[in-house]
Chains A and B, each alone.
Chain A
Amino acid sequence: MSDPRPIIRAEGLTRKFGDFVAVDDLTLRVVPGAIFAFLGANGSGKSTTIRMLIGVLTPTAGEIEVDGIDVIRHPRRVRDHIGYMGQKVSLYQGLSLLENVEFYGGLYGVGKRDLSDRWGALAERLDLRSAENEHPGNLPAGVRQRAGLALSTLHRPRVLFLDEPTAGVDVHNRALFWELIQDEADTGVTVFVTTHFLEEADYCDWVCFIDSGRLTADAAPEELRRRFSTGYRLHLAAAPHAADSGEAAAAIARLGHALERSGLGVHYGEGGIDLTASALEPALLRTLGELQTNHPGVRVAVEQPQMTDVFRAMVSRSTG
């Protein structure tokens, strides 16, 4: 992730509270338009780092640049460039959602007509129209989270910081929320996000893992799988009732021998073959796809290492 020029850059970031070192010599680089997962255990230094990146907490040492702005020297100036949403969405309880929008729009200095256009588009996309006149206390958690996302992007920030945006949100609303985050990233917004739902790391382009204030992993999700799991397992078999099941079985066996010669782990069983691979390389996927195209009776089952297990392995290695 060294190229292109990062939109978030932190060098040697350190924060002490008395003798306690909450964040310890952290270096981060985030490329524009990426969805960047920042993960770690409770108390590992995630929130302290985010508070420094958004300019509300001064580091003990280090440098921070967000969207070209030196955050330590100009903590106020960076706020026009970023949006922030915490786990507890900050909506004024006494105001309706629409009144909250007007209030936040004013804070961000968004002009009236611009705000009306922007909110119109957001409300449509995030399905918030019917909630406009509701007070936040009456909104279900999922709607409240979507409203929080809308408010944090009212001023079209270039970088969005989301601190556990899906905590306590049900599976349906989490799925919806991630589609919206991906849409934001597609428009060029950089998303910096923390979560304890580790399967959500798969929606991200890049993952950093922090433990006791130190960075212990900094890689794409697939790279983490490669390093911290026993790899993918694939099962290839002929569908029992397929018209070409005999030919399919023979083709599977031939492919097994070929893959074995290329150094892949292959086990032959009565029901087909099992492969293990540290990663699903495009070439292997293509080979399997072609096999399936030529022999429709071929069934492939992929067992992907779960991100939750990858993290367990990562943590046990970093602590033990």
Chain B
Amino acid sequence: MNGTPLPEIRLRGLRKSFGERTALRGIDLAVAGPQIVGVVGPDGAGKTTLLRAVVGLLDIEADEASVLGHDLRGDVTELKSILGYVPQVFSLYRELTVNENLRVVGRLNRLDGRELEARARPLLERTGLAPFGERQTGALSGGMKQKLAIACALLSNPRLLVLDEPTAGVDVLARDEIWAILKERHREVLILISTSYLEEVEACDRLVYLDDGRAIATGTPGELRAHVPLELYRAWGDDPRAIARAARALPYVIGARATGTFARVEVSRDRTPGVERVLADLGALDGAPVALAESTPVDTESTLLALARGASAADAAQTQARG
């Protein structure tokens, strides 16, 4: 990598509208160096639009929009040739075989036969697709299709790899394989990825949380967890659903939900009466016996839910102020 500049994205005030609808309302984002950056947020927040903008697929407006040293507002032909992109919708040729798809992508990247072979073979081995080289792509399982899409995106040895929900609908083993490939490369490649899986969100080096076309929080998963004004409790008992219902009646509880074995109870950090009191209150819930209550570190699930709540509360406050 000597002499090669660090892969870098610098966005300031990135805006994108589709007709009347504003998808991105001024995104600021600065990331430099190889790492995995997770783009997270609710459905419709602008994640796909941001990723498509970064790979040069959209006409955008911005105060600054530099990706790998190329200005997104200018000619992005060369940029497109030096990055890898895996779109949300599977976009390879279903009627071609695995090998044929790799050859098509190799030709687009102007790789000669020998170079293509040298690059494709380890990718096929690594993704476990080698035995399926002659299989028609449309006949592959969901996980295999996604691995092929990633192999094709990596064929050009890109310094920036952009993946839009590459693991949606993919089983846990194929997800593990996909993430092993990403982790192998995250010291050389800047990886931008969107995902709905909590485990994958936690595996990112850094997160960008989008809501309604704005980046409302950025940081490591740990920084985001520390940033949300929440305490998290778990109340274990025979009937977690009754516990969750009863817990919602406590004045400082902002959310409670049952799993099979316990109720997750989220408490506002601004209104908490203190851990000891909360534990005592949970232990004495009306009509919902709690066997054991515990205070537990805020996790990614609560962090994302809190960010979503925070964003909608801010929207409501703004609307009220305007009204």
A41 within 8 A of B: yes
A277 within 8 A of B: no
Listed stretches B28-36, B54-62, B194-202, B220-228; interface member? B194-202
Interface string of A206-238 (1 = CB under 8 A from B): 000000000000000110000000000000000
Considering the complex, give the chain B residue whose CB is closest to the CB of A172. B308
Q: In the complex the two chains form, is B172's CB within 8 Å of A171's CB? A: no
Interface string of B236-273 (1 = CB under 8 A from A): 11100100000000000000011111000000000000
Considering the complex, give the chain B residue whose CB is closest to the CB of A296. B276
Considering the complex, give the chain B residue whose CB is closest to the CB of A87. B169
B263–chain A nearest beta-carbon distance, Å? 12
Interface string of B172-185 (1 = CB under 8 A from A): 11111000000000
Q: In the complex the two chains form, is A222's CB within 8 Å of B261's CB? A: yes
Residues of B within 8 A of A221 (CB): 260-261
Residues of A within 8 A of B168 (CB): 167-168
**Secondary structure call for the B interface:** mixed
A305–chain B nearest beta-carbon distance, Å? 11
Q: In the complex the two chains form, is A312's CB within 8 Å of B291's CB? A: no
Q: In the complex the two chains form, is A171's CB within 8 Å of B257's CB? A: no
B42 within 8 A of A: yes
Are A312 and B260 CB-contacts (below 8 A) given A170-B196, A175-B305?
no
Q: In the complex the two chains form, is B143's CB within 8 Å of A42's CB? A: yes
Are A173 and B42 CB-contacts (below 8 A) given A168-B169, A280-B261?
yes
B142 within 8 A of A: yes
Report Cα–Cα, A288/B290, bound state, in Å.
Answer: 11
Considering the complex, give the chain A residue whose CB is closest to the CB of B174. A42
Are A308 and B172 CB-contacts (below 8 A) given A41-B143, A288-B292?
yes
Listed stretches B93-101, B154-162, B294-302; interface member? B294-302
Report Cα–Cα, A301/B292, bound state, in Å.
Answer: 10
Q: Which of B143, B280, B290, B292 has the most CB of A within 10 A?
A: B292
Q: In the complex the two chains form, is A202's CB within 8 Å of B196's CB? A: no
Count residues on chain A whose CB falls below 8 Å from chain B CBs: 54
Count residues on chain B whose CB falls below 8 Å from chain A CBs: 48
Residues of B within 8 A of A178 (CB): 257
Are A140 and B257 CB-contacts (below 8 A) given A170-B196, A292-B283?
no
Q: In the complex the two chains form, is B305's CB within 8 Å of A171's CB? A: yes
Are A182 and B304 CB-contacts (below 8 A) given A202-B259, A301-B296?
no
Q: Which of A40, A41, A170 has the most CB of B within 10 A?
A: A170
A242 within 8 A of B: yes
Considering the complex, give the chain B residue whose CB is closest to the CB of A279. B261
Residues of A within 8 A of B169 (CB): 42, 87, 164, 167-168, 196
Report Cα–Cα, A270/B161, bound state, in Å.
Answer: 47
Taking a contact as CB atoms closer than 8 A, the residue among B198, B275, B280, B305 that contacts A172 in the complex is: B305
Report Cα–Cα, A205/B241, bound state, in Å.
Answer: 13
Q: Which of B169, B199, B260 has the most CB of A within 10 A?
A: B260
Residues of B within 8 A of A280 (CB): 236, 261
Are A302 and B170 CB-contacts (below 8 A) given A168-B196, A170-B196, A202-B261?
no
Taking a contact as CB atoms closer than 8 A, the residue among A142, A239, A289 that contacts B283 in the complex is: A289
Offer 13 A-B interface pairs, CB within 8 angstroms, sorted by A.
A41-B173, A42-B143, A42-B170, A44-B171, A164-B169, A169-B196, A170-B43, A171-B305, A171-B308, A196-B170, A222-B261, A282-B291, A285-B291
Give 9 nearest A-B pairs by CB, closest first.
A285-B291, A41-B171, A43-B141, A42-B141, A140-B44, A141-B43, A202-B259, A289-B292, A42-B142
A positions within 8 Å CB-CB of B:
40-44, 87, 140-142, 164, 167-175, 178-179, 182, 186, 196-199, 202-205, 221-222, 239, 242, 280, 282, 285-286, 288-289, 292-293, 296-297, 299-302, 304, 308, 311-312, 315
Knowing that A41-B174, A142-B42 are A-B contacts, what are 4 other residue pairs whose CB atoms are under 8 Å apart, sorted by A's residue number?
A: A43-B141, A171-B301, A196-B170, A221-B261
